[in-house]
Amino acid sequence: MSQAFNNTQPIYLQIMRRLCRQVVRGELKAGEKLPSVREMAVQTGVNPNTVHRVYMELERLAIAETRRGLGSFITEDTLRLKQLREDLKSEQIGSFIADMRETGFSPEEIMEGVRKELAIIKA
C-alpha cells in the first residue's frame, strides 16, 4: 500500500515533492484534477490530515487550487508550472554543485565531468 518514506523529512513534504515531480514530468497536467483527500490518503497510506496539508501547501505555492465542492486541481497557470520546472532544476543542480564543491571539485572539473557523463548516456 504505502510508498516508502524517508525517516527524517516530514511526510507532507515528501508527498509534495512527488507531486511536483509528476507535474514537471508531465504526468500531471495543467488543470488536471487531483485525487480527493481520502483517495490520496488511501493510495499513499498516510493520514488524511497529511494529505490535506499537502494540498494546502500546494495551494499556497499556487501550484494547485481548490474549488469548492469540486476538489483540488493543478493550476491552469502554465507560467507558474514553467517556473516550478525552473525552480526544481536549479534546486537540484544547486545541491549537486554544493556537494561537488564540498568534495573538492573545481567548476571546470564539474562542467567537464557532466559533459563527459552526458555524452556517455547519449551514446
Partner 1 sequence: MSDHIVCFSQVTKKYLGQVALNNVSFDLPRGKIIALVGPNGSGKSTILKLTAGLVHPSQGAVTVNGKTAERRIAGEVAYLSELDILYPFFTVAETIKFNAGLFADFDEQKAGEILSFMQLEPNKKVKHLSKGNRGRLKILLALSRRAPLILMDEPLAGLDPVVRDSIIRSMISYLDLEEQTVFMSTHEVSEVEPLLDMVVSVNGGRIMGIDEVDNIREQHGLSLVEWMKETLVK
Binding residues for partner 1 (CB under 8 A): 1-2, 5, 7-12, 38, 41-42, 44-50, 53
Q: How many residues does the chain have?
A: 123
Q: Which residues of 30-58 are buried (b: 16+ CB within 10 A; e: fewer)?
A: eeeebeebeebbeebebeeebbbbbbeeb
Which of 1, 123 has the CB closer to partner 1? 1
The least distance separating partner 1 from the CB of residue 2, rounded to whole angstroms, comes to 6
Q: At its nearest, how many Å lie between partner 1 and the CB of residue 39? A: 10
- Residue placing its CB nearer to partner 1 in the complex, 57 or 59: 57
